[in-house]
Amino acid sequence: MLGRLTRNEAEDVFKKWTNDGKVRLPRLSDADKLHRESLVTAESKALEELESRGLSRNKNYYLFDLLFALNLYEYLTIKNSVNEREASDDDFWRYISIKLIPDVVERRWEGLKASRFYQESRRIWVKALWWYIHLSWQGSIQSTYDILKDNTTDTVVQLVERPGSGGYRVSLTRNLMRYYGVIADEYPDKHSTEMFRKIMRLNTARTKVIEPALVDGGEQAYVKELFEYFDAKDKAI
Amino acid sequence: MQNTIQLYRSLNDKILERIGFQEDLVSFYHLTDEGEEREFTLAEEEDSKPNVFLMNDKEGIWDPNTHNLTLRQTVSIENPLFLFGNSGVAAKDSRLGIALSWQSRTSARRGIKPILSFDGSMPAPLNAELEISFAPNLLRGSVEIDTVIFLQRPGEETGPGYATKPGTILGTLDTKTLFIDGEGSEFPIVEVEDPSKPLWWVECNWTDPLTEPFSQEYVRIYLNLKHRFNKELNIKKGIGQSPLLLEILSSSFQIIIERLKLGDDWTDIMSGQNFEKGSIGEAIYYFVNTFNWDVTSPEKLAGSIREDIYGRFGG
């Protein structure tokens, strides 16, 4: 659907921007102009939603990211069928980041942060957001929003930057994020960044020998047990 | 593969030998645009690496962007009983399973598919029909598919060192690696959509061809799908039906080789020395020597590349 931009190409563009102190939009083909328009709308819709709740972007980065990410996912994946084959290709994201919506990235990061534009594979902002939604997807925008609304920017980092050996287990992360989302509603005091970090670390250790999909009760039972492990420990102490 | 110390018994060479794992040929299928299943054969068989598959459809129809991919293979375990009890990996009364575990770092995905389960009372030999499907537009780069044995249910009888948790992977019977694109001897082709650019061009982004991989990050041929001559490329029908594509490939190889000849590493590349596995240097060394390309002059190179490429793909 979209073009590709290599690391070298991105670097060249970024160097020029750094000299000028700001991003500059390139000339775009008609097709790319339409893509850009939709992605810029993804930003303005997220900002409007924040405003309607009396919130601002620079005090609610997570909520802005979440709303923008859902709009991004809706456009790329639901409307345009972008899937893992493209989403695992950094060149695909660099094209979006550097060619299509550099101004949106610049506004979010309040300046030229190379790692978020193109440099670090897991930190390219648009890429991290897409995977955050993909790994948490519950079947619709609304249901996915519902389970993610209480998280923080650190949740994104913990989930996306821990692919485990070999790659993400998508059905497992979706189960896990649903469970964590339900905890936020039912046991808000157990829903914490620290808890999530612990869960993710335990999961990394466990999956070295066990396949969650193959345990009794499958991934759902596995996830429940992950969370209950810390409950039991808390009680013991 | 795993760098943790396993605290339970798992498959080792001795057990593997004793149980007699055997496999038939792997076959590949996809659903066509009309919804029918079509088996396809690969353009080249890698005799030297029996479990490495370069996923180039001989007829050029299968496309990972739009088609799914199904693998089928019949395997058997001659003496499954040796997996149980004292000399095996699980207690006598436990239940084991066979599953296909796949990992693709390049597509950032992994998954597992259970195939069947069995216990010690199963008559020998144990036959299994392995089958796994990948959705269209999922795989990129390469994928490794392991046939594994896992613990489905531990036995009542406990013994020293037996795994006890259901879902524990007890070992790997077989590993296959599939290169979907951009690896092996396939050419890293990138499709772009930009009406302002030419129909095709090549980029050489390497700094050290002896170590940098022959992959899209370092060498690229761009095909412009928004160019007004795009239709002439006739990509959908496959490479054998597109003289234009054959010309682009031939010219691209020539450009890459001429570019390498200008650098300092050409002598090493041609003598087959000092390059790493999978590097640009190794790929070019392989092409030149396997397909008899004549690199002694530009005109001889142009002629010999075309003789080879038209011979192999041009029907």
Residue of B nearest to A9 (CA): B205
pLDDT in the model for residue B215:
78
| Residue ranges of E strands in chain B | 21-23, 27-31, 37-40, 52-54, 69-77, 95-104, 109-119, 126-134, 142-153, 169-179, 189-192, 200-204, 219-224
| B31 and B135 co-located in one domain | yes
Task: Give A162-198 pLDDT, tens digit per residue.
Answer: 877 778 999 999 999 999 999 999 999 889 999 999 9
CB pair distance less than 8 Å for B109 and A2: no
Q: Flag if B111 and A208 touch (Cβ within 8 Å).
A: no
Please say which residue of B179, B201, B232 terminates a domain: B179
CB B295 within 8 A of CB B257: yes
Q: Is residue B148 domain-resident?
A: yes
pLDDT at residue B183, rounded to an integer: 47
Residues B24 and B137 occupy one common structural domain: yes
A21 pLDDT more than 90: yes
Section A91-109 average pLDDT: 97
Phi-psi region of A173 (alpha: psi -120 to 50; beta: other; left: phi over 0): alpha
Closest residue of A to B146, CA-based? A166
Question: Which residues of chain B have a CB within 8 Å of the CB of A84?
Answer: 107-109, 137-140
Answer yes or no: are the C-beta atoms of B41 and B58 closer than 8 Å. Answer: yes
Inter-chain residue contact A212 with B107, CB threshold 8 Å:
no
A41 and chain B: CB distance < 8 Å anywhere? no
> Smallest Cα–Cα separation from B75: which of B31, B122, B125?
B125
From A2, A87, A216, residue closest to B166, measured CB to CB? A216
What is the token pair recorded at B296?
Answer: 């002694």
Strand pairing of B95-104 and B109-119? antiparallel
The answer to whether position B257 is within a domain reads: yes
Residues B154 and B216 in one domain: no
Are B203 and B289 in the same domain?
yes
Domain ends where: B155, B179, B203?
A: B179
- Domain identity same for B273 and B228: yes
Answer with the one of B122, B144, B179 that is the final residue of a domain.
B179
Structural domain includes residue B294: yes
Burial class (CB in 10 A: 0-12, 13-18, 19+), B122: middle
Answer yes or no: is B1 within a domain.
no
B143 and B266 in a single domain? The answer is: no
Which residues of chain B make contact with A219, given a CB cutoff of 8 A?
none
Name the closest residue on chain B to residue A222, using Cα atoms: B167
Report the distance separating Cα A163 and Cα A179, nearest Å.
Answer: 19
Domain check: are B80 and B120 in the same one? yes
Q: Could you tell me if B36 and B127 lie in one domain?
A: yes
In a domain? residue B231: yes
Please state the pTM of the whole predicted model. Answer: 0.75
Q: State the CATH number of the domain containing residue B147.
A: 2.70.50
Per-residue pLDDT, A237: 46
B2 part of a folded domain: no
Q: How far is B137 from chain A (nearest CA, A)?
A: 5
User: Considering only CB atoms, which chain A residues are within 8 Å of B108?
Assistant: 84, 87-88, 131, 163, 167-168
What dihedral angle (degrees, nearest 10) is formed by the CA atoms of A34, A36, A41, A47? 180
What are the pLDDT tens digits along chain B (315 aa)? 334 456 788 898 899 999 999 999 999 999 998 999 999 998 876 555 678 888 888 888 899 999 999 999 999 999 999 999 888 999 999 999 999 999 987 898 999 999 999 999 888 899 999 999 999 999 988 899 999 999 999 988 777 788 889 999 999 999 998 988 754 445 678 888 888 899 999 999 888 898 777 877 788 888 898 899 988 888 776 677 788 989 999 999 999 999 999 999 999 999 888 887 678 998 899 889 888 899 999 999 999 999 988 887 765
Could you tell me the residue range of the domain that residue B53 belongs to?
Answer: 13-179
Residue B202 inside a domain? The answer is yes
Average pLDDT score over residue span A2-26: 91
User: Nearest-CA distance from A64 to chain B in Å?
Assistant: 26
Interchain CB distance below 8 Å, A166 and B152: no
SS3 A27: coil
Same domain? For B33 and B170 the reply is yes
On whether both B88 and B32 belong to a single domain, the answer is yes
B120 within domain boundaries: yes
Asked if B109 and B48 sit in the same domain, the reply is: yes
Residues B26 and B165 in one domain: yes
Q: Which of A4, A6, A88 sits opposite B108 (nearest CB)?
A: A88
pLDDT of residue A203: 94
A174 has a chain B CB within 8 A of its CB: no
The total of structural domains in chain B comes to: 2
